[in-house]
Amino acid sequence: MSTTTSRATKTRVFWALAAAGALVLAAALGAAHYMEEHGHVVTGMSNQVVWGLPHVFAIFLIVAASGALNVASIASVFGVADYKPLAPLSVLLTVALLAGGLLVLVLDLGRPERLVVAATHYNFRSIFAWNMILYNGLFVICALYLWSLLERRFGALAKPAGLAAFAWRVILTTGTGSIFGFLVSRQAYASGVIAPLFIALSLAWGLAAFHLAQAGFARLSGEAMDPRMLERVRRLLGIFVIAALYFVAVHHVTNLYWAKQAAFEHFILASGMPYAPLFWAGFVGLGSIVPLALVFHPRLAGPRATAVAAALVSVGAFAFLYVFIIGGQVFPLEIFPGYEVKSSFNDGRVGAYVPSLAEFLLGAGGLAAAFLIALVGVRALPILPPAGVAMAPAAAAK
């Protein structure tokens, strides 16, 4: 009787969560339709800020998708058997997060039906065309990888598929970072450091997203993580956050070394509002220092502290991307270095950007789409490990 009641409760929770995710996704689709009907004039974007809040959500989802493969790569590529039961969830989250991020990008184009042109006519001198191939390729590789993990007959293919997925995700994240690194028309970007920076960020953000998903699904199934695995994930998250902080510091120190970037760095790190406070309080403080204290302090270590740390890393990711994407666009362009330019088009003035509700709903729709794909995937496929494997019964964990 208790088992039947438990199953009924889990079913009700599943449908309630699915309904909530579908509601957010429907609101996002409505916001996208509203922006398509009225144009981007109803958003906070302009001819200076062409990538708004939806791109913050989209880049986070795409970068985190790459990093979500961390656990599967540790199992298949590096041969750590303890992570193998968690590999299917890792691959599923990669697909879910990538699909959510691309959904936001497609709906933010203004003319989403024109995507077919980008998918059938490639300009190989464009980094955007390269990323079209990389995104679609990761979907295919992850599908084969997940199939090899779930189907015993194809288990021998898991290692080569894992190697391919690992190599492809590194290239994909490099391509995503290179979108900004190759963008010479913006003074804030155009740096070779951005590609490895994005790889470091993906490791931290992806593992944080994976841990939040795993902890959520474990709670829904009445199980808790094995303390040994929790310890490994906690320390690994701390190492990845330190690596991300290091590359962010290298990026800004490199810019400070160039005299032409001094004004921008002063704006983004000291005087720019709200970008400087978001960077220091949001990314460095709340998104990095506090999580490091939670994962490394012996008295704070535990399941709740690790979940809070992962959530704060995700919050810090949004703060970083808002500063990086929006702040990099509002800073005035120096079109003719060394010359004074005068016109009636607000030369030398910092641009203004206030995101609209429609933009926020569209970005939240990407999160909702990723959530629904992961939720349905776990429900329909044997994604989660059996009880007692990489997870322990909640009662025993207490």
User: For residue 166, what pLDDT is reported?
Assistant: 95
CB 75 within 8 A of CB 87: yes
| Closest among 320, 327, 318 to 263, alpha carbons compared | 327
Helix (H, G, I), strand (E, B) or coil at 57: helix
230 or 111, higher pLDDT = 230
- Residue 304 has which token pair? 């709740």
Least confident of 103-107, 124-128, 244-248: 124-128
Domain ranges, residue 186: 20-337+350-383
Residue 80 has pLDDT above 70, yes or no: yes
Residue 156 CB contacts under 8 Å (≥ 6 apart), including other chains: 148
Query: What is the average pLDDT across 155-176?
Result: 92
Query: What is the average pLDDT across 115-131?
Result: 75
Return the number of other C-beta atoms located less than 10 Å from residue 335's C-beta.
Answer: 10
In a domain, residue 10? The reply is: no
CB 109 within 8 A of CB 36: no
Share of the chain above pLDDT 90, in %: 59
Residue 283 has pLDDT above 60, yes or no: yes
d(CA 86, CA 90): 6
Residue 332 CB contacts under 8 Å (≥ 6 apart), including other chains: 347, 348, 349, 350, 351
- Residue 213 has which token pair? 């998903």
d(CA 139, CA 231): 31
In a domain, residue 9? The reply is: no
220 or 294, higher pLDDT = 294
Looking at the structure of the chain, the number of domains it has is: 1
In a domain, residue 296? The reply is: yes
Helix (H, G, I), strand (E, B) or coil at 391: strand
User: For residue 260, what pLDDT is reported?
Assistant: 80
Report how far apart, in Å, the C-alpha atoms of 151 and of each of 158, 219, 258, 373, 381 are.
10, 26, 54, 20, 11
d(CA 70, CA 91): 9
In a domain, residue 269? The reply is: yes
In a domain, residue 6? The reply is: no
Residue 98 has pLDDT above 60, yes or no: yes
Residue 43 φ then ψ, to 5°: -105, 180
In the block, residue with structure tokens 């829904």: 220
pLDDT digits (tens, 9 = 90+) for 301-353: 788 999 999 999 999 999 999 999 999 999 887 766 666 767 666 666 788 89
User: For residue 394, what pLDDT is reported?
Assistant: 41
Query: How many DSSP H helices and E strands does the chain contain?
Result: 16, 2
Q: Residue 149's domain is classified under what CATH number?
A: 1.20.1630.10
In a domain, residue 210? The reply is: yes
CA 290-294-299 angle, to 5 degrees, is: 135
Report how far apart, in Å, the C-alpha atoms of 145 and of each of 94, 159, 285, 341 are.
11, 9, 37, 55
In a domain, residue 345? The reply is: no
- Residue 305 has which token pair? 């502290």
Spacing of C-alpha 264 from chain mean position: 26
User: For residue 344, what pLDDT is reported?
Assistant: 64
Under the banding of pLDDT at 50, 70 and 90, the label for residue 201 is very high
* Mean pLDDT taken over the chain: 88
Please provide the size of the chain in residues. Answer: 398
In a domain, residue 231? The reply is: yes
pLDDT digits (tens, 9 = 90+) for 25-44: 999 999 999 998 888 889 99
